[in-house]
Structure 1
């Protein structure tokens, strides 16, 4: 079994394709959907949407740590060349920061939920909006890593192995 994980395919991965983007898309969707539910719930006074938002943030908190583990592993296997390193480093830094921000907002949301499930402070909504903006910027960086710099794509992996990209 160990030898299976040591053999890398043409994407420079020990498994068929990248897992980080799959997991991270759940985080993106859950954070944005939680914010939308909060906004609609705030203006419509539909408190059931607050419950939907809470559970989305709860599972996003768990999923982001799974996404970071796979992201770190896959970034290490990518053998990043010089041009991609600044973007990858920023993406990594923001990813770790987002894990803290999401966990903190989820904790704050839990306290709000315990104290008064019928009201949501405008300050929380403001912080959730900032979170959505950060997540959107992180999505931009992730897209840049794949679509501009081609991490884990066959032509880039081959170019790095041949020494064309350094």
Structure 2
């Protein structure tokens, strides 16, 4: 039975959205195609009507998640204070505690290096975010904006990843606060 194109496209987007969330929560190897399809309310059977493989889904869902993150950053480019707020929100307990809803960089950097199919999408996302930060963050000196954006984003991603990894909530909060303070005051 053939489904209308709109319904097929909606299902495809639903799969991408749930896959991106689950991959951020559990890693690329931590979630199965069956779990993704179950999260979408679909059976495992139609998966291959949408994707050639799990690796193809991983790559496309990484781009899908990237688009979501870039939209949030685009909204922050309206003012210097909005850019600072973007950093505050990124390096926060709320972001730390919700990897499925957060940035794919902090959630999947360690996994992406082991997934050749994902690396181009991951690289595209990273370069895009660095470019936007370099162009729009209120740098004190503009002559090293790209280098400063790389340093800042590396610190932000690292802070969230480390804050998620430790078993001491006070220390986790301290990590976030240190990086937050370094870039927003």
TM-score, with normalisation over the residues of structure 2?
A: 0.32
Structure number with bigger Rg: 1
